[in-house]
A and B are shown apart, each in its own frame.
Chain A
Amino acid sequence: MPLLEAAGITKIFGKLTALDGAALTVGENEFHGLIGPNGSGKSTLMKCIAGAEVPTQGKVSFVNADITAFTPTERARAGMSLKFQITSVLPTLTLYDNILLALQAQSSLFDLVFSRTRGFLHDQVMTMLTQFRLADRAFDAAATLSHGQQQWLEIAMALAGKPRLLLLDEPTGGMSLEERRVTGELLQPIKNHCSLVIVEHDLDFIRDICDRLTVLDQGKVLASGTVSEIQANKSVQEIYLRRA
């Protein structure tokens, strides 16, 4: 059984059909890229999977359970995590607090009120910050980070709850070449314990890290397969040539 299976996802906003029967299947420990031209429905599909949008039709299954009607909180507790397209770290809090905030999401009220989580989770916070090369900035406000560092912080926060599936919406948007390279390096180690769905415009980046790709065009799946299959696919080449 796949880890995630979204089938027949249709999303209609007023007169606009953003998704028209789109589907996505992701296996355990698989890195899956979601690509397509602007307006093809990539972000909407991500939101339908994460629970930020409710699909008009279709079904989302995760770890063998139908989660179509789950709230974001319930999806997070089931092991799904999302990094938004727009960076949404909490700018006035320190990096440390940002990570801790993510780590302690499922702690008991007692542990929160008596601040026991800070003791329990300190080592994990520092490990995450070290892993994402942010440890020396631990006690600075998140607003003082560069854009690329804020993206890393947010990926770290999304990974804090040890999700089984991480949804990344344009993680390298606005990054320098070097920052993109580092982002790829930072993502590789999570493959041991986590699957990834990634929406990204940088095709080189996606080709480097993904096992499989799904191509969306006008709300429909144009093709789905391994990276080499997709590269060889005529209709995919056409839509990218059309764009160019």
Chain B
Amino acid sequence: MLKSMSVVREAIDADVGDEPDGAMAESEARQAASGRKVLPIVEGLVLLAALIAPLVLQDYLTVFATRVIILALFALSFDLVWGYAGIMSFGQALFFGSAGYGVALLARDLDITNIFLVLPAGTIIGLTFALLLGGFLLLGRHPSSVIFVALGTLTGSYAADRLARGWYYLGGQNGIPSISPMTLGGYEFSEGPVFYYLTLGILVVVYLLCRFLVRSQFGLALAGLRENEQRIAFFGYKAQHLKAIVFAVGGTIAGLAGSLYAFHEGFVWPNMVGVVVSTQVVLYVLFGGSGTLIGAVIGTVIIEGVSFWLSDNYRDIWPIILGVLLLLVILFRPLGLISFVLAERERVGSFGAKPKENEKEKRNAAS
């Protein structure tokens, strides 16, 4: 079945923009559209694995897994922005890191660590920076080029990194160490299973909200935007506005992830806003498969998991092995690991509820 899915995906890929290859392509596309859904199964399996992980992992691995879940939340933000709105943001860490610094300062200077204050604060910081940068880069009268936006976001992230390194108030090169734990009343969230499940809960909620958004008619407009932005503009869509909205949502999620990260790790440092982490999140999403949401989560888990294992076993050369592995996947599976199991038609997906379509699909399947 995996093989047949892959064949369908390649057949449809080959047809894009060309005259179709007659009945062959048609029957394959129908087969793919006929309701064999792989995505919910993959999502269910990932959730199941995440739910039981702390029960089977040793404590130090649960702490590691919590970090991975936070990074997966961060990766979701980039997948929305790149995978769904086609905005190449090379500065996603700007929102992640600035929220981290923001909540670290709240904890250090104002002694504010209540979860109901710090997480919304971090989220708002991410949103604000994304609105400012997105407004500048995306909301011109004419559409901005991918390169302009990529360089603009990269510059934003780089500048924030330099600022953090040079500013004594932000701790300079060392960042802000020893952040007090996040609290709820008298309870302190320290590393361990409780923090893990808190983070997982947040990831699941954010994931479902993103899923709702990209499967709505707004998601349909984004699908059109990805395939042909000019076409969408000629229909009368305000394409730049759609992009700026998604960019802001992405910044908000990155801000939430950054504030969780700051409290989980207990410190923030300049790399967190800089180019290194910005690049890392691009790799997570490309590796797992962009434009699927779950691909971002899988990519993060695998890259972080493999890095962890390699660095333990091949202390000196592990970055080289990891680099080669990433290159191989990007070379031979440009749509990411998820494309082994996911047909292109299902990746593009359907939008909104449509009972009439289901009837039609059943008829197609029966014929």
Contact = CB atoms under 8 A, between A and B. Distances in A.
A203 interface: no
A130 to B, nearest CB: 14
A50 B231 CA distance: 12
Contact of B16 (A92, A101, A106, A117): A92
B19 interface: yes
Contacts of A115: 216-217, 351-353
B12 A139 contact: no
Nearest to A150: B19
Contacts of B236: 73, 76-77, 105-106, 161
A72 B16 contact: no
A72 B17 contact: no
A91 interface: yes
A76 B19 contact: no
A93 B27 CA distance: 16
A69 to B, nearest CB: 9
A90 B238 contact: no
Interface string A151-164: 00000010011000
A107 B221 CA distance: 11
A92 B348 contact: yes
Contacts of B17: 91
Interface in A85-121: 88, 90-94, 96-97, 100-102, 104-107, 109, 111-118
Interface in B2-51: 12, 15-17, 19-20, 25-26, 29-30, 33
B142 interface: yes
A139 B235 contact: no
A109 B218 contact: yes
A90 B361 contact: no
A113 B219 CA distance: 8
Nearest to A149: B20
Contacts of A122: 356
A102 B235 contact: yes
A201 interface: no
Contacts of A90: 223-224, 227-228, 231
A144 interface: yes
Contacts of B230: 52, 72
Interface in A139-180: 139-141, 143-147, 157, 160-161
A143 B12 contact: yes
A143 B353 contact: no
Contacts of B356: 122
A122 B351 CA distance: 13
B191 interface: no
B315 interface: no
Nearest to B223: A93
Contacts of A223: none
B178 interface: no
A76 B233 contact: yes
Contacts of A109: 218, 245
Contacts of A221: none
Nearest to B32: A141
Given A101-B220, A102-B235, A139 B33 contact: yes
A101 B235 contact: yes
Contacts of A100: 217, 220
Contacts of A77: 236
B161 interface: no
Contacts of A104: 217, 220-221
Contacts of B26: 140, 144
Interface in B198-224: 213, 216-218, 220-221, 223-224
Contact of A96 (B20, B29, B357): B357
Nearest to B19: A147
Contacts of B141: 71
Given A139-B33, A143-B12, A157 B360 contact: no
Nearest to A97: B220
A121 to B, nearest CB: 9
B234 interface: yes
Given A50-B234, A143-B16, A93 B224 contact: yes
Given A90-B223, A92-B227, A139-B33, A105 B235 contact: yes
B364 interface: yes
Interface in B124-180: 141-142
A107 B237 CA distance: 9
Contact of B216 (A113, A139, A144): A113
A141 B235 CA distance: 20
A77 B239 CA distance: 13
9 contacts: A77-B236, A92-B348, A96-B354, A109-B245, A112-B216, A118-B353, A138-B357, A139-B357, A140-B30
Given A76-B233, A97-B223, A140-B29, 10 more contacts: A81-B234, A88-B228, A91-B15, A91-B16, A94-B350, A112-B217, A112-B221, A117-B217, A141-B12, A157-B235
Nearest 3 interchain pairs by C-beta:
A115-B352, A76-B236, A105-B235
Interface of A: 50, 52, 71-73, 76-77, 81-82, 84, 88, 90-94, 96-97, 100-102, 104-107, 109, 111-118, 122, 138-141, 143-147, 157, 160-161
Interface of B: 12, 15-17, 19-20, 25-26, 29-30, 33, 141-142, 213, 216-218, 220-221, 223-224, 227-228, 230-239, 245, 344-345, 348, 350-354, 356-357, 360-361, 364
